[in-house]
Amino acid sequence: MARSSSDGSGGGPAGRGRPPMTERRKEVVRTEIARAAVRLFTERGVSGTTGDDIARELGISTRTLWRYFPSKESCVRPLLTTGLDFMAARLRACPPDTPLLEYLEREQAFEEGAPDLGEPVADLIRMTHTEPSLMAVWLEVHHAAESVFAEIIAARTGGSADDLSVRVQAAVLNTALRLASEEMARATADGPGAPPVGPLVRSVLATAARGLPAFTAAAS
């Protein structure tokens, strides 16, 4: 989705003479932009917020904002990928001869390691149901994650990421994680007191495991 002129276009190359930012610093800036965007989207709605507004909120130029994101809606992407990146890392580390749930339990992924849904993320996921442009970002994030999951499953089984069985397993896993996030966001809508996200992820993965042979038995 291209940015509109009302969002303050004018991206361009970084100014000469500036020292390069580390990747870690870039990620910090991207996350700060994402949080500012969610705050403004929550207060004003997506249509009532421009790229200029997001940049002003952070005290940066709109030109700088567009160096990080191509549109105001895409600014929220870093907040939507954290849990998926975490799960992808866990999947890669899962030994071939260990069932996924057993490995995640052993690694305490459902208690200590799993990133919880903070209030901005929960607000954002709830907004995807009323803001089509944010829903598009949410689905794009999961579409990209599904390809990553397929590559991990293929490496585990010795198959190809294009194999239908691998793609189905990746889709099952991806959908389970998306539904867990959406259910947690829904549960927190009425205020504090919602259960932590870890047990919910454990529950959906236990259900999804019936369709994940690559992670329920030793890889052949």
Closest by alpha carbon to 174, among 162, 182, 163, 186? 182
Amino acid 83 reads G
pLDDT of 115 higher than 70: no
> Tokens 């889709």 identify what position?
171
Mean pLDDT in residue range 70-75: 97
Q: Is 48 buried (19+), middle (13-18) or exposed (0-12) by CB count in 10 A? A: exposed
pLDDT > 50? residue 77: yes
Is pLDDT above 80 for 83?
yes
CB neighbourhood size of 18 (10 A)? 7
* Alpha-carbon span 208 to 220, nearest angstrom: 20
156-167 confidence digits (pLDDT tens)? 889 999 999 999
pLDDT value at residue 96? 83
- Contacts of residue 58, Cβ cutoff 8 Å, sequence gap at least 6: 32, 33, 36, 65
> Which domains, from first to last, does the chain contain?
14-75 (1.10.10.60), 79-215 (1.10.357.10)
